[in-house]
Amino acid sequence: MTEKIFPEKFSLKDKIAVVTGGAGLIGKSVAIGLAQAGAKVYVADINEKAGIEIEKQNKNSDLKLKWIELDITDVSSISSCINKVVKDDKRIDIWINCAYPRTSDWSDKFEDIKYESWKKNVDMHMNGYFLCCQKIAKQMKKQKKGSIINFGSIYGVVGPDFSIYEETNTTMPAVYSAIKGGIITFTKYLSTYYAKHGIRVNAICPGGIYDNQPQAFVKKYEEKTPLGRMGKPEEIASSAIFLASDASSYITGHVLMIDGGWTAW
């Protein structure tokens, strides 16, 4: 008899999930998506106001969403977050690194980047992901199972087309490219290191997500994208549900591009 795979294996019923940066643009959609798939989701974010608001907005639904304080740049905060979740729910099945810490000057032109700023951004963002992975993998190793999903970016894989930033006061930060490239290869390292412990580690690399960017930028971005538009947060969330679920039980070390075909050229 053929094993039944749909829809049970796509369900996250009774799973315990933590989404770092869960109050952000993509993180919020991922957290809500996981909850809609049946998981109990901790919206792990340094922004208490935004986290509590997500709780309030969904308190009359059947969704299990709860804000928990987390600063990914602080190892004690990470340990505290994990310990609280494990104390209440005995385990953590899913950990998604979607936090997006950065300095106010991180988008300076390459020639103007201050070394201290570069180091701080790497320390907050990439090293924050390292700390989270190190701590949660220790817990998942005890459980002999778990799914870790790191957020990379198309710009951790390909170089930017700077022409799309013309006529705007924005650019693609150099340190962002370095950070996301590092996270992608780090994900592959972890996937083979922890495979024998039943821990799967994958990366999601979004393309441009619409967030009221300058119209000139949006127009050029859409013209360059095969599907002819920017992405939506919920289109990223659906992939996170898949990689978090048992439907992807034979997938680890994968880098999933969700970019409307941007990197297919």
- Tens of pLDDT, residues 150-162: 999 999 999 999 9
Which percentage of the chain shows pLDDT scores above 90? 94
Whose tokens are 């969700």? That residue is 258
**Does residue 6 register a pLDDT over 90?**
no
CA–CA distance, 255 with 184 (Å, rounded to integer): 7
Instruction: Write out the two tokens for 100.
Output: 């997006």
Q: Is residue 1 part of a domain?
A: no
Q: In degrees rounded to 5, what are phi and psi of residue 73?
A: -90, 0
Q: Looking at the annotation, which residues are catalytic?
A: 176
Look up the domain containing 196 and give its range: 8-264
Q: Is residue 226 part of a domain?
A: yes
Is the overall model pTM greater than 0.75, yes or no? Answer: yes
Cβ neighbors of 57 (< 8 A, separation 6 or more) are none
Q: Is residue 3 part of a domain?
A: no
User: In b/e form, how buried is each residue of 120-144, taking b as 16+ CB within 10 angstroms?
Assistant: bbeebbbbbbbbbbebbbebbeeee
- Tens of pLDDT, residues 78-130: 999 999 999 999 999 999 999 999 999 999 999 999 999 999 999 999 999 99
* Total domains, the chain: 1
User: Which CATH number does the domain housing residue 192 bear?
Assistant: 3.40.50.720
